[in-house]
Amino acid sequence: MAKSPATEHPIKAQGYAAKDTSGTFLPLTFSRRATGDKDVRFKVLYCGICHSDLHFAKNEWGVTTYPVVPGHEIVGVVTEVGTKVEKFKVGETVGVGCLVGSCRSCQSCSNNLEQYCPKMILTYAVPYFDGTITYGGYSDHMVSDEHFVLHWPDNLPLDSGAPLLCAGITTYSPLRHYGLDKRGTKLGVVGLGGLGHVAVKIAKAFGAEVTVFSTTPEKKHEALDGLKADHFIVSKDLEQMQAVTGTLDGILDTVSASHAIAPFLNILKTDGKLVLVGVPEKPHELPAFPLIIGRKIVGGSNIGGLKETQEMLDFCAEHEITADIEVIPIDYVNTAMDRLLKSDVRYRFVIDVANSIKAPLDT
Ligand code: NAP
Ligand code: ZN
Ligand code: ZN
């Protein structure tokens, strides 16, 4: 008989899973592997809710394996280490982001770009090396190869720091890679959600002049006063958009839903770069003229490698950058997803996992 998620591994785990495309979350008992030689086992304390979790729960990208236990902004405390683990000790606070595996030998892996390894393994909803499906941080505990575990900086809060493991690295990495991390860079951030608001904070720490493009006028004073953005533009307002034509060096587009990208190309200077990190369900339309007239570039970026993720955590700890969060118990996750879809969160939900899932490891 085929093994079920509850029986494929030796150790029981409790989590919350979406079981079909309705994306409705229900409690799930499943199982985790025994701690291997190079594995770190840890109790989950906090887990952020990324919009990718919602895309996956509803199978909006057509790749979900159900049941799916999402969660890739995970902070926990180590409960067991394998005999060959070198970097971590029991009792240490750790983080796990979007990756739990890669081939470790291809060109991308050799260059600390595990996120571009053809065999990279996401933290949830994909087959692991042993053929079983990965389950994420909406669960009482996790097991991960130590290579994919991050050291948690001492002064970084556990709850508001958790979203950095995806929202932080997904915005930090392209700003660095595309050279948009220089003091004085005129940078646009499109979409002021989980990724967008962290992008503003990181870009300000790099010394950029930041313009937020938002569909939500009510976010203006939060963006300017709270997040210290320099300018705020309502992206649906043609006049405001036209007034900034040709002014920016780069734009980071974090929007989760279908929208026109052509208007943002017009806002770039000659040689400007539009970097896409948001992944709407439907493909974008890309007109050639605005690219050609001005030698502009459209690029993308996927999370970040482990080395850079550690660098980003240390950078955020040093600059006191965390996410603005609303902490919730796990049984609020369905309401949280409804609100996330309506952009009704300032700016990231974080699940207090340890206090809302009864962990077998505790008993
Ligand atoms: P989020 O918190 O929901 O933020 C998305 C923001 O997009 C919203 O706050 C809203 O900002 C704007 N928006 C929403 N609907 C819109 C619409 N119809 N038209 C224009 N703007 C709209 O999501 P998130 O967690 O930041 O994730 C954003 C996207 O990045 C998702 O697609 C996610 O899957 C993707 N992602 C990619 C990576 C990667 O490695 N590339 C990593 C993580 C996440 P305003 O109210 O300001 O308009
Ligand atoms: Zn994410
Ligand atoms: Zn590889």
Is the residue at 363 inside a domain? Answer: no
Average pLDDT of the segment spanning 28-43: 97
Phi (first) and psi of residue 197, to 5 degrees: -70, -30
Q: Is the pLDDT of residue 2 over 80?
A: no
Closest listed ligand to the CA of 280: 1
Average pLDDT of the segment spanning 150-158: 98
Is the residue at 309 inside a domain? Answer: no
Closest listed ligand to the CA of 103: 3
Question: Ligand 1, closest atom to CA 345?
Answer: 2
Is the residue at 360 inside a domain? Answer: no
User: 191 CA to middle of ligand 1, Å?
Assistant: 6
Confidence of residue 269 (pLDDT cuts 50, 70, 90): very high
Q: Which amino acid, residue 71?
A: G
Q: Is the pLDDT of residue 190 over 50?
A: yes
User: 221 CA to middle of ligand 1, Å?
Assistant: 20
163 burial level (CB within 10 Å; 0-12, 13-18, 19+):
buried
Q: What is the pLDDT of residue 359?
A: 53
Average pLDDT of the segment spanning 197-214: 98
Is the residue at 319 inside a domain? Answer: no
> What is the domain-level CATH number for residue 133?
3.90.180.10
Question: Ligand 1, closest atom to CA 50?
Answer: 25
Q: What is the pLDDT of residue 363?
A: 35
Closest listed ligand to the CA of 147: 3
Confidence of residue 7 (pLDDT cuts 50, 70, 90): confident
Q: Are 122 and 24 in contact, with CB atoms under 8 Å apart?
A: no
Which of 81-85, 151-155, 268-272, 281-285 shows the lowest per-residue confidence on average (mean pLDDT)?
281-285
DSSP code of 283? P
- Measure the CA angle with vertex 16, ends 15 and 21; round to 5°: 140
Q: Give the end of a domain, one of 284, 300, 316.
A: 300
Tell me, yes or no, whether 153 and 174 share the same domain: no
Is the residue at 307 inside a domain? Answer: no
Is the residue at 184 inside a domain? Answer: yes
Cis peptide before 347 (omega within 30 of 0): yes
Tell me, yes or no, whether 258 and 134 share the same domain: no
Cis peptide before 67 (omega within 30 of 0): yes
Tell me, yes or no, whether 117 and 230 share the same domain: no
Is the residue at 280 inside a domain? Answer: yes
Q: What is the pLDDT of residue 358?
A: 73
Tell me, yes or no, whether 129 and 245 share the same domain: no
Tell me, yes or no, whether 155 and 12 share the same domain: yes
User: 97 CA to middle of ligand 2, Å?
Assistant: 8
Tell me, yes or no, whether 156 and 185 share the same domain: no
% of the chain at pLDDT higher than 70: 98
Question: pTM for the complete prediction?
Answer: 0.96
Residue 93, CB half-sphere, CA atoms under 13 Å: how many?
13
Tell me, yes or no, whether 99 and 118 share the same domain: yes
Confidence of residue 362 (pLDDT cuts 50, 70, 90): very low
How many domains does the structure of the chain reveal? 2
**Residue 188 lies in domain:** 167-300
Tell me, yes or no, whether 156 and 199 share the same domain: no
Tell me, yes or no, whether 333 and 247 share the same domain: no
Average pLDDT of the segment spanning 281-295: 92
- Average pLDDT over the chain reads 96
Tell me, yes or no, whether 253 and 238 share the same domain: yes
Q: Is the pLDDT of residue 1 over 60?
A: no
- pLDDT tens string 37-96: 999 999 999 999 999 999 999 999 999 999 999 999 999 999 999 999 999 999 999 999
Q: What is the pLDDT of residue 351?
A: 98
Average pLDDT of the segment spanning 180-208: 98
Tell me, yes or no, whether 11 and 77 share the same domain: yes
Q: Is the pLDDT of residue 331 over 80?
A: yes
Ligand 1 pocket, residues with Cβ under 6 angstroms: 50-52, 55, 166, 170, 191-196, 214-216, 219, 254-257, 259, 277-279, 301-303, 340, 343
- pLDDT tens string 292-306: 999 999 999 999 999
Phi (first) and psi of residue 27, to 5 degrees: -65, 145
> What is the domain-level CATH number for residue 282?
3.40.50.720
Q: Give the end of a domain, one of 266, 285, 300.
A: 300
Confidence of residue 361 (pLDDT cuts 50, 70, 90): very low
Is the residue at 347 inside a domain? Answer: yes
Tell me, yes or no, whether 72 and 177 share the same domain: no
